């Protein structure tokens, strides 16, 4: 199996390298690919050093699977070229809503791989991935009617430069020094920004619309969904406050049983100080954590919960590698 990682030097690309190595996936030849700015640099795969190749002249006929984590513009241009020779697993948003491209979270809908028509498989938005892995078993059991989501998304979702800016701003604020905002629309240090991606005409941001549309595509559902996406001053892991309204009645005991046995999920829900998961707790872990599970006393058949996951793993690299595993085993 020959594998290429496009965008290997970025946050997600480096995590894909890490996940491939930890999972001990059999790789005959591994190619690291990036822009001309990074070409020639060296990255490690275990103890092996591999030179980064230039995307502009990379030969995709050498590989069986190509991971793309270099952004929407790069995917638009290069994924169709790579897909002529290899199966492409794309982390950008460009192909997600294409009806001929399956949008996959293996624990939820790996059967959709049979619908692949373009040699392209899309990886969902990071906040969507951790949401659907929780909703799947609940929807099967009680039929979800409506979902209301508020996200608390880390700066790593916006890339390494944004993470660096959070660190720099934090130092400058503490030192009471002035600074220029670069990668955000407002100060991110000690703040919360209710704006991720660009605005659409109806007032929603594209990030919010991604969550709405991608969730229904993955689940094959027509659930009423609304979302508000917020960037917070955290480096890694996204959190979500989620309200779910069901068609049918439920018990908290059954909800917890379903989530405890759901693949990829872990319930940490104690009604005590610290009996829940925070973004810091989830960093570096593969599971999607569910806490603060309780009935919504203001509405019939409704439930509240708190969902946290490492966005660079479940929301990106881990899910991408698991897609590759599911594709190979199909």
Look at residues 326, 305, 302 and name the one whose alpha carbon lies nearest to residue 239.
305
Rounded distance between C-alpha atoms, residue 322 and residue 29, angstroms: 19
Provide DSSP, 302-317: EEEEEEEE-TTIIIII
Q: Whole-angstrom distance between the N-terminal and C-terminal Cα of the chain?
A: 15
Residues in Cβ contact with 91 at an 8 Å cutoff, skipping those fewer than 6 apart: 7, 12, 67, 68, 69, 123, 316, 320
Cβ proximity of 7 and 16 under 8 Å: no
Cβ proximity of 79 and 94 under 8 Å: yes
Active-site residue set: 126, 238
Tell me the CA distances in angstroms from 108 to 105, 139, 263, 285, 298, one per residue in order.
Answer: 5, 11, 9, 19, 30
DSSP symbol at 299: S
Question: How many CB atoms lie under 10 A from the CB of residue 49?
Answer: 9
Rounded distance between C-alpha atoms, residue 292 and residue 307, angstroms: 9
Rounded distance between C-alpha atoms, residue 71 and residue 9, angstroms: 13
Backbone dihedral region of 313: left (phi > 0), alpha (psi from -120 to 50 degrees) or beta? alpha
Alpha helix (H) ranges present in the chain? 11-22, 72-82, 106-109, 126-142, 160-174, 206-219, 252-261, 279-282, 318-329
Question: How many CB atoms lie under 10 A from the CB of residue 208?
Answer: 25
């Amino acid at each position: 199996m020959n594998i290429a990682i496009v965008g290997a030097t970025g946050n997600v690309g480096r995590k894909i390298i890490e996940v491939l190595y930890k999972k001990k996936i059999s790789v005959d030849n591994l190619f690291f690919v990036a822009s001309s700015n990074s070409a020639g640099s060296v990255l490690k795969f275990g103890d092996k050093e591999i030179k980064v190749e230039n995307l502009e002249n990379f030969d995709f006929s050498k590989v069986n699977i190509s991971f793309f984590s270099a952004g929407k513009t790069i995917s638009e241009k290069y994924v169709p070229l790579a897909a002529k020779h290899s199966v492409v697993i794309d982390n950008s948003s460009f192909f997600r809503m294409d009806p001929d491209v399956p949008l996959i979270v293996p624990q939820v809908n790996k059967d959709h791989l049979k619908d692949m028509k373009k040699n392209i498989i899309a990886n969902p938005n990071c906040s969507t991935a951790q949401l659907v892995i929780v909703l799947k078993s609940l929807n099967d059991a009680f039929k979800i009617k409506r979902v209301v989501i508020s996200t608390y998304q880390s700066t790593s979702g916006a890339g390494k430069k944004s993470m660096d800016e959070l660190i720099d701003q934090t130092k400058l604020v503490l030192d009471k020094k002035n600074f220029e905002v670069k990668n955000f629309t407002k100060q991110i240090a000690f703040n919360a920004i209710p704006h991720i991606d660009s605005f659409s005409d109806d007032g929603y941001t594209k990030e919010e619309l991604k969550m709405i549309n991608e969730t229904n595509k993955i689940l094959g559902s027509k659930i009423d969904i609304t979302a508000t996406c917020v960037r917070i001053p955290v480096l890694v892991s996204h959190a979500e406050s989620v309200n779910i309204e069901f068609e049918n009645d439920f018990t908290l005991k059954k909800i917890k049983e379903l989530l405890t046995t759901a693949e990829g999920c872990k319930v940490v829900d104690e009604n005590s100080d610290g009996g829940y998961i925070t973004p810091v707790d989830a960093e570096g872990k593969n599971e999607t954590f569910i806490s603060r599970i309780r009935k919504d006393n203001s509405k019939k058949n409704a439930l509240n919960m708190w969902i946290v996951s490492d966005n660079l793993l479940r929301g990106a690299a881990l899910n991408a590698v698991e897609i590759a595993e599911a594709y190979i085993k199909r």
